[in-house]
Each structure stands twice: as C-alpha cells, then as structure tokens.
Amino acid sequence: GDRVILDDGKVAAIAVSRSADGLHCKVLRALKSPTRVRSGKGLAFPDSHIAMGTLGPEDEVALRFALEHADAVEVSFVNSGRDVALVADRLRAEGHSGFGMVLKLETREAMRNLPEILFEALRYDAVGIMIARGDLAVELSFERLAEMQEELLWFGEACHLPVIWATQV
C-alpha cells in the first residue's frame, strides 16, 4: 500500500505485493505516455520507514576515498539520529573526528526525525546540513517544498550549523 515514486516523480505507483524477487507495483500515473524508466534512475518510498543500519561495501569504498582525498563527506538520505551516529562513529574510529560531514536532508522520514538528527549532529564537531531540492519535493510534494526548505534553514541557523541550500532553487 506504500507509494513508490520513480525517476524524480515521472512515474507514481503503489506497492501491491512483495516477494524474494522484488516488488510488484500498480502504476497510478505517469507524466507522459509512453514513459520509459531506464536503469540507474532513482526510487523513492515516501511512506516507508527505511533505516540505513550499516554501511555497505560501496559506502565503505566511497568513505575510504573521501578520507584519503577530501576534507568532508556527504551523507545522503539521512533518516534518523542513528544514521548520523553511524557515520560519525565510523569517522571517529578512523581517527578523523574533525573530518567534515554534511547531512543531506531529503526524505519525509528525515523531516519526522529532524530533532533527533540535529541533536545527534551537534555531538559531532565538523558537521553541516544540506537542504535537498528534487528528492525532498518528491517526498513531500512540490507545493510544500519551499516552506520546508525555509524551515530547515531556520533550524540550521538556530543550531549554528552551516547550511548548504541545494542548487536551482
């Protein structure tokens, strides 16, 4: 019964059933007919609770590269304070407690858990937040996007955190 949004809102569907092979969905609308969804396009599950849990192999490779070649890492799809703690603990374990961490706030779940995300972020020294555009609009609706972005900016200012406002706003 949860919504599934494909390719930045080009296709909206609802989950009908799931199996070991995948998810069976019923398409509710497409922006145009016919619509092609190619591989590598994004999926959003705005009604679902999805926790990061652990860093996967691709995350570990990206983190290792960032630690060797950059000053900060961006953490996409932060949904809870636990997600923040997971990455912060990993950075501390590597001896990089001052390494920058930018938390990208782009989901409905992040908005629900914003206080715990911000409180956890404040426990880490070099942290900022990024206010999303496209993914946040898909999750919340384009009608609520500007309002939510402005509120996130205010929360960032209130917490004295650097804020990156996504491009093309």
For residue 81, give every residue at least 6 positions away whose Cβ sits within 8 Å of its Cβ, in sequence order, or none.
113, 116, 117, 119, 120
Grouping H, G, I as helix, E, B as strand and the rest as coil, residue 63 is helix
pLDDT of residue 125: 86
The mean predicted confidence, pLDDT, of the chain is 86
Angle, alpha carbons 48-137-158 (nearest 5°): 95
43, 6 contact by CB (below 8 A): yes
What are the backbone dihedrals phi and psi of residue 116, each rounded to the nearest 5 degrees, phi first? -70, -35
Residue numbers of the chain with a pLDDT score lower than 70: 50-54, 167-169
